[in-house]
Amino acid sequence: MPMETIAVSGIPFPVSRIALGTWAIGGWMWGGADDRQAIATIHEALDLGISLIDTAPVYGFGHSEEVVGEALVGRRDKVAIATKVGLDWKDGKPFRNSSAARIRQEIEDSLRRLRTDRIDLYQIHWPDPAVPLDETARVLEDLHREGKVLALGVSNFSVAQMEQFSAVAPLAAVQPPYNLFERAIEDDILPWSAAHGLAVLAYGPLCRGLLSGRMTAASHFGSDDLRSADPKFQAPRFAQYLAAVAALEAFAKERFGRSVLALAIRWVLDQGPTIALWGARKPEQIAGIDQACGWTLSAADKVEIDRILAAHITDPVGPEFMAPPGG
């Protein structure tokens, strides 16, 4: 099926509704990096119709951006790059820093690593309680006027924070965690974004691999793997989530002849003005993207999905463990 696209205010062409997420490509918190495989993954994504790549300086402390920049040599004008700003780090530990000085430094570092003269979508990675939001918004609006940034976005922001930001600078997108298991944004962020014309870049649509259909009770995560700190991957919850995935897999195959992975992505795409960030670090990890496009879930399908979740997950938990500390 052809790739579905969506308009993002400020970006001069429609972008794919499935974007490549590159956190794992940076290596940090995902068991190390393999640049050869990562570049092959990016090229495979482009060949499959993906035209939006999402990265961040903190993903491998600059490494993910460098790999993306290398992979896009000769292909830059066909791809929208989304990256982020507002996290600093010391001794391999990130913390929030959205000061004007930090942002001015970060934009130049990101442009250099990405080998480009502009960022298509520049997003505040996490709100910084130590810096007035108006200060952060003003410097980002300056970068926007200077042409270094085409569109502005935020990540992990509340509706109140988005309202405050958008009073100072134009807001085109928001990036929250969102998947079949983590759905808090349906209460406020998703409807607000739809009403105000924002694209919603849903990160973790496969819930850190849980919804890939490839995990089993024997799956192991090392201490340098993000999932070793995720409560979903610890007993007793891990068994609950695996049981839900198995039931969703059976439902997807019986009803649609598709994988649970395709079902999980389709569900995100059907929720509103959404883009699903498909994280991958090996070419084979983005196989099956075409299965997620060109169809839709009915209201009855969504009811059955919710029934499956309620039947198997008795102790749900959100993505709160991922929040970095303040400065």
**Residues involved in catalysis:** 59
User: Residue 282: how many CA atoms within 13 Å on its side-chain side?
Assistant: 4
- Residue holding tokens 């439902």? 251
Those residues with Cβ within 8 angstroms of residue 137's Cβ, 6 or more apart along the chain or in another chain: 164, 165, 168, 169
Those residues with Cβ within 8 angstroms of residue 284's Cβ, 6 or more apart along the chain or in another chain: none
Question: Which residues on adjacent β-strands are paired with residue 90?
Answer: 93
Q: Which of 58, 61, 56, 63 minimizes the C-alpha distance to 20? A: 56
Those residues with Cβ within 8 angstroms of residue 199's Cβ, 6 or more apart along the chain or in another chain: 6, 7, 8, 9, 172, 173, 174, 193, 273, 274, 275
Tokens describing residue 95: 């913390």
Rg (C-alpha) for the chain, rounded Å, is: 19
In whole angstroms, what is the distance from residue 241 CA to residue 238 CA? 5
